[in-house]
Amino acid sequence: MRCAGIDLGSRTIELVIVEDGSPVVGRQCETGFAPVEEAEKLLAGESYDFLLATGYGRHLFTQTYPESRMVTEIKAVAAGCRQLMSEVDLILDIGGQDAKVIALQTDGKVRKFEMNDRCAAGTGKFLELTAMSLGLPLDRLGEEALKAENRVEISSMCAVFAESEVTSLIGRGANRRDIAMGLHRAIAARAVSMLKRFSVDGANIAFVGGVALNRCVHRLLEEQLGARVRVPEKPQMVAAFGAALLASGSLTKGENEK
Q: What is the DSSP string of 68-99?
A: -EE--HHHHHHHHHHHH-TT--EEEEE-SS-E
Share of residues in the chain with pLDDT > 70 (%): 93
Measured at the alpha carbon of residue 55, what is the angle toward residues 62 and 162, in degrees to the nearest 5?
Answer: 140
- Residue pair 244/23 in contact (Cβ under 8 Å)? The answer is yes
pLDDT band at 254 (very low <50, low <70, confident <90, very high): very low
Q: Which domains does the chain have, with CATH numbers?
A: 1-85+235-258 (3.30.420.40), 88-231 (3.30.420.40)
User: Given phi > 0 = left and psi -120 to 50 = alpha, else beta, which region is 108?
Assistant: left
Residue 252: pLDDT over 60:
no
Of the candidates 117, 124, 119, 82, which has an alpha carbon nearest to the alpha carbon of residue 103? 82
The per-residue pLDDT for 119 is 65
pLDDT tens for residues 50-105?
999 999 999 999 999 999 999 999 999 999 999 999 899 999 999 988 999 999 99
Of the candidates 89, 41, 127, which has an alpha carbon nearest to the alpha carbon of residue 204? 89
pLDDT tens for residues 212-230?
999 999 999 999 999 999 9
What is the overall mean pLDDT for the chain? 90
Q: What is the mean pLDDT of residues 195-209?
A: 94
pLDDT tens for residues 138-182?
999 999 999 999 999 887 766 667 777 888 898 899 999 999 999
Residue 196: pLDDT over 90:
yes
The model carries a pTM of 0.91
Q: Where are the beta strands (DSSP E) in the chain?
A: 2-8, 12-19, 22-30, 50-54, 69-70, 90-94, 99-104, 110-116, 205-208, 229-230
pLDDT tens for residues 10-63?
899 999 999 988 999 999 999 999 999 999 999 999 999 999 999 999 999 999
Residue 255: pLDDT over 50:
no
The per-residue pLDDT for 154 is 82
Query: Within a 10 A sphere around the Cβ of 167, how many other Cβ atoms?
Result: 11
